Amino acid sequence: MQQYTIQRFRGGLAVVSFEGGKRRRHRLEARDRASAEAEVRDFAAAQRRPSGGLTVADLWQRYSAEKAGRPVEQNMLHRGKSILPFFGHLRPEQITIEDCRNYVAQRRRAGRKDGTIWGQMNSLRTCLNWAVKSGHIDVAPRLELPPKGVPRERYLTREEIGRLIAAPSAPHIHLAIVLMLTTAARVTAVLELTWDRGDLDRRQINLRTSEGHRKGRAVVPINDTLLEKLKEARAGALTDYVVEWAGGPIRSIKKGFAAAVRSAGLIDCTPHVLRHTAAVHMAEAGVPMAEISQYLGHSDVQITASVYARFSPGHLRKAASALEFRATKVQ
């Protein structure tokens, strides 16, 4: 949120703000403090309205600054590389459906899939909706997004899992892989995990943090596979973070993970595939959907069932039994 201060200026008063690291000053008509505060409110409101001239780039920067230190900041930085060259110079009210369609067409020509483009456009929508709630603009424009795409079907077989775990990789990459496979956690949750949330005696890991997250996180057991790895890592820990490198926390394992995947001879495998893999193997083992849902941190078991029920050995068996038909001999 933009901050304004009142200062004395040439025998009167002025409102001072900072925009893009630059100090800006606007002389006020008011001559006393109370009147100045009221005038500053009008000034601030004018700056927040579309007539204030705020562009998508301005709002993108403000939203990112408010989310500083959280994973969404990195998402905005990454997606801004595509969104801002196209939309950044526009004010929100200038964005049209035709602009959205042109952006989608441009990204498709660049070889980007609809799911990726949807994520970029959704970040723009989130930023503009935040701008409305924060009072920077009055109305967010209607955006047209491409189809989100079908859910990823790729998951690893037990043989592929074995190859990935055995593949040569740095210790922190290996530990992250085992954590993702045995806790079904997202990579961000694994990299943010600290030792105070891992109880090796009770064999339990709390993937949640005090800040809370839009995407659910769970409290899960530590199985034998993970316990062995955690004991090794704990013995040599230099920081509070379970997954660490060079005496500090890690923001990304993208390169190291990709190298391990190549060494294992796997294709089309991302960190999120490991979460999907964990859920599929639980379903194939006959674990109830309610338990899988808790493991994944889903808010509704129906969300889990809609994706993973078909992997359960008993899925639709009763329905299939009702459709057992036999030929009968005509008398």
pLDDT digits (tens, 9 = 90+) for 110-164: 999 888 899 999 999 999 999 999 888 888 999 999 987 655 678 999 999 999 9
The whole-angstrom separation of Cα 217 and Cα 203 is 17
The sign of the dihedral angle between the CA atoms of 174, 180, 183, 185 is positive
CA distances from 41 to 2, 46, 59, 138, 249 (A): 12, 9, 20, 16, 42
Report the alpha-carbon distance of residue 187 to residue 166 in Å, rounded.
Answer: 19
**What are the residues whose beta carbons fall under 8 Å from the beta carbon of 58, sequence distance 6 or more?**
none
Q: What is the pLDDT of residue 85?
A: 95
**Segment 166-176 mean pLDDT:** 95
Q: Is the pLDDT of residue 51 over 50?
A: no
Range in 28-32, 191-195, 311-315 with the lowest mean pLDDT? 28-32
The residue type of 98 is: E
Residue spans per domain, the chain:
5-48, 56-133, 158-311
- Least Cα distance to 217 among 304, 297, 300 occurs for 297
- Res 318 pLDDT > 90: no
Tokens 């690893």 label which residue?
156
Least confident of 20-24, 124-128, 252-256: 20-24
Residue 21's pLDDT is what? Answer: 62
Q: Does the pLDDT value for residue 199 go beyond 90?
A: yes
The reported pTM is 0.61
Region 38-65: mean pLDDT is 78
**pLDDT, position 36:** 79
Give the lowest-confidence range in 44-48, 206-210, 268-272, 293-297: 44-48
Q: For residue 247, what pLDDT band results from cuts at 50, 70 and 90?
A: confident
Confidence of residue 275 (pLDDT cuts 50, 70, 90): very high
- Averaged over 16-27, what is the pLDDT? 73
- Statement: residue 18 has pLDDT above 90: no
pLDDT exceeds cutoff 60 at 214: no
Answer yes or no: is pLDDT of 3 > 80. no
Tell the CATH topology of 158-311: hpI Integrase; Chain A (1.10.443)
- When pLDDT is averaged across residues 200-227 and rounded to a whole number, the result is 83
- Decide if pLDDT at 48 tops 60: no
When pLDDT is averaged across residues 296-309 and rounded to a whole number, the result is 89
Calpha distance 231→203 (Å, rounded): 11
Average predicted confidence (pLDDT) for the chain: 88
For a pLDDT cut of 70, what percent of the chain falls above it? 92
Q: Which residue has the higher pLDDT, 31 or 155?
A: 155
CA 178 vs CA 43, 58, 247: distances in Å: 55, 41, 20
237: pLDDT strictly greater than 70? yes
